[in-house]
Amino acid sequence: MNFSATSDFAQQLDAQDTLRDSRQQFYFPQQEGSDVIYLCGNSLGLQPKGVEKALLHELEHWRKYGVEGHFEGELPWMYYHRFLQAQSASIVGGKTEEVVVMNTLTTNLHLLMVSFYRPTKTRYKIIMEAGAFPSDQYAVESQVRYHGLDPEAAIIEVTPRTGETLLRTEDILETITQHGDSTALVLFGGVNYFTGQYYDLEAITVAGHEAGVYVGFDLAHAAGNVELRLHDWQVDFAVWCSYKYLNSGPGGPGGIFVHEQYANRPDLPRFAGWWGHDEKSRFLMRKGFKPMQGAAGWQLSNAQIFSFAAHKVSLDLFAEVGLTTLRQKSERLTGYMEFLLNQLDPDNKLFQILTPSDPKQRGCQLSIYAWKDGKQLFDFLSKKGAIVDWREDNLLGNGGGIIRVAPVPLYNSFSDVYTFVELLKQAVNTER
């Protein structure tokens, strides 16, 4: 499609957008009486309007039933994880049984590494992307140490080539082949939080399996952002959080996927808790752990009802719209932003987009590297009502850094994108 850099054109795209009304389901922070340009859904999704009612419902349930709330009503607490299961499974392309919502992301990463990182004398390495989200780095490093190994020797990071910022798939696969015999686990992000690069998860999985290695993914920036097919891709396990693109609210619950090949194997080592124990005999309170079938067998504790209830609201919205439709809009929305940014700075004199320009290699986020005075640009944007994300990266020593923007198809409009780039234009003109 041929884009045009006018507000009329942006409004025309909005008029044609079949998802334009889903924006009404969300609260936008206000600045001087109007909605901010919210482009931070990669960090914390907006509040769906239905959340308040869902939370009040659970408060009332508790007030009315006390402990009996576990068994009363349409959504009894005892089975609450089930009410999120099918919809979470369709977000990541898993079977219902392969998925469960529980705990939070980093906790889940540790729990699944207990099951899938089982180093031996000869196979002990973990292959991951350089510059992974810090929590993942710490989780991996501490797991390696926990097994009495040296992180320097056991963690193999795939780095971009000199002068490049993105990973090449061929380099990832080559690293897996090269270290395959001594590797126990390949653990990658789905979409890198910093560059916005969406890795080829299927190819990574195939390469890992050819080397006889487990393959797991952290989908924090992929879940609800790109279309995933974890089951078909034969991914062994995955974890994600729900407060970014899945709009469950601050500290919202995490989700896990365990491929059915492993999900029904009670012999697979794990750290267990009573909520992962077979539902039928859970309340007999006997010795001897017998895991539930599927990913549910990794649960530790009873569900955090309030955060699960908030999470369910947004999952219902996703189910209504469908990821395929969302992704179609997303590619166009982000493509439009990329087009406008390139119009503003065709020769990359002011900034450069680090994120791949191939839509298949990114989700909705664009990471914009401002060569200088990035913080001033960011401050200007904030003052004018655009909420974006800023990371200092002062490599050149003149205040450069990354502005990350994520136009989210569920609630952002083409006009949002247009207004943002107009503000950025004002910002660079003011700063120069």
Ligand X SMILES: *Cc1c(COP(=O)(O)O)cnc(C)c1O
> In the block, which residue shows the tokens 């419902």?
57
Measured between alpha carbons, how far is 106 from 223 in angstroms, rounded to an integer?
15
Closer residue to ligand X (CB): 133 or 369 = 133
By the rule CB under 6 A, 129 interacts with ligand X = no
Binding segment for ligand X (CB under 6 A), chosen from 100-108, 293-301, 331-339, 373-381, is: 100-108
Residue from the set 39, 213, 241, 295 that interacts with ligand X by CB under 6 A: 241
From the CB of 135, what's the least distance to ligand X, in Å? 4
From the CB of 245, what's the least distance to ligand X, in Å? 10
By the rule CB under 6 A, 355 interacts with ligand X = no
Binding segment for ligand X (CB under 6 A), chosen from 50-58, 128-136, 146-154, 364-372, is: 128-136
From the CB of 326, what's the least distance to ligand X, in Å? 19
Measured between alpha carbons, how far is 377 from 381 in angstroms, rounded to an integer?
6
Binding segment for ligand X (CB under 6 A), chosen from 132-140, 165-173, 272-280, 304-312, is: 132-140
Q: How far is CA 80 from CA 108, 135, 249, 343, 417, in A?
A: 18, 28, 18, 49, 38
The set of residues, in sequence order, having a beta carbon less than 8 Å from that of 340 and lying 6+ positions away, is: 3, 5, 417, 418, 421
Residue from the set 25, 87, 88, 104 that interacts with ligand X by CB under 6 A: 104
Query: What would the DSSP string read from start to end of 120-135?
Result: -SS--EEEEETT--HH
Site for ligand X in 77-96 (CB under 6 A): none
Locate 21 and state its tokens: 């009304």
Site for ligand X in 166-225 (CB under 6 A): 189, 193, 218, 220-221
By the rule CB under 6 A, 133 interacts with ligand X = yes
Q: Is the dihedral of CA 61, 66, 69, 70 positive or negative?
A: positive
Closer residue to ligand X (CB): 26 or 188 = 188
* Contact criterion met (CB below 8 Å) for 231 and 90: no
Closer residue to ligand X (CB): 136 or 200 = 136
Measured between alpha carbons, how far is 178 from 211 in angstroms, rounded to an integer?
9
By the rule CB under 6 A, 135 interacts with ligand X = yes
By the rule CB under 6 A, 314 interacts with ligand X = no
The set of residues, in sequence order, having a beta carbon less than 8 Å from that of 320 and lying 6+ positions away, is: none
By the rule CB under 6 A, 113 interacts with ligand X = no
Number of H helices, E strands in the chain: 13, 17
Q: Which parts of this chain interact with ligand X (CB under 6 A)? A: 104-106, 133, 135-136, 189, 193, 218, 220-221, 241
